[in-house]
Amino acid sequence: MCGRFNITHLPGLQGLLDELNIGLTLPEPRYNVAPTEDVLLLHEGHADFARWWLVPSWAKEVDTKYSMFNARAESLASSPGFRKPFRSQRGIVPMSNFIEWRAESGQKQPWVITNDEQTIAVAALWDVWHGAEAPLLSCTLVTTQAADAFRPWHNRMPVMLTQQERARWLDNTQSIDPNDPILAPVLKYNLTLYPVSKAVGRSTEKDPELFEPINDSVILRA
């Protein structure tokens, strides 16, 4: 599951863009990015902003009737909305960290999740809808079942690509099997998690200070 994330100016993000040969001046840092907002999408050798909630090319209209901001890895090859993008329209949404909520003492506590580089390359699918005057580029984040160590936070997690996996995921000339290890429910690298202000539960809250740790961090080891 991934419903909020942050993207900031960190060396790891610029390194990711350089690694993928994408020339880009990084946009302003963004906090508490939520579904239906525009996100940075890396695809076909360049970067664009895309609506974070997939609108299939065949859709009659832009709506949020169905939850299309995440795509379950288990149904990528069979879902009408995801199977074509899975074959030939794969991309990456970069983020510095993402947020999950865990039940603690009867309340939902938000936790920030990141890695050592504070740069996570999340597998994404994209499509273009032509039902309006201008084409609409949109995307969805691919999720898989949670690794055992991650389950106390959520039963699903985004597919986080390693450096070795990124180029293959972006190579849309080659298909990827639904059972490929890329989509496996395992931790591919260590994750650092720390609790933050409950105020981030409101997507309108964009203050960077809300994402400072309010207690000790936890490290999940791959």
- pLDDT tens column, 18-41: 888 888 877 789 999 999 999 999
pLDDT digits (tens, 9 = 90+) for 139-157: 999 999 999 999 999 999 9
pLDDT by residue (tens digit) across 162-218? 999 999 999 999 999 999 999 999 999 999 999 999 999 999 999 999 999 999 999
The angle at the Cα of 159, spanning 157 to 162, to the nearest 5 degrees, equals 130
pTM above threshold 0.85: yes
Type of residue numbered 222: A
Comparing C-alpha atoms, which of 64, 157, 53 is closest to residue 115? 157
Contact 193, 216 (CB under 8 A): no
User: Which tokens in the block code for residue 86?
Assistant: 């899975």
Structure tokens of 148? 């055992």
The whole-chain average pLDDT of the chain stands at: 94
Q: Is position 2 annotated as part of the catalytic site? A: yes
pLDDT of 13 strictly over 90: no
How far apart are the C-alpha atoms of 170 and 161, rounded to whole Å?
11
SS3 call for 211: helix
Looking at 61, 74, 100, 165, which residue is catalytic?
Answer: 100
Quick one: pLDDT at residue 23?
83
Kindly tell me if the per-residue pLDDT of 1 is higher than 70.
Answer: no
From the candidates 2, 74, 139, 209, give the one annotated as an active-site residue.
2
Residue 209 falls in the annotated catalytic set? no
Burial 135-149, CB ≥16 within 10 A → b, else e:
ebbbbbbbbbbbbeb
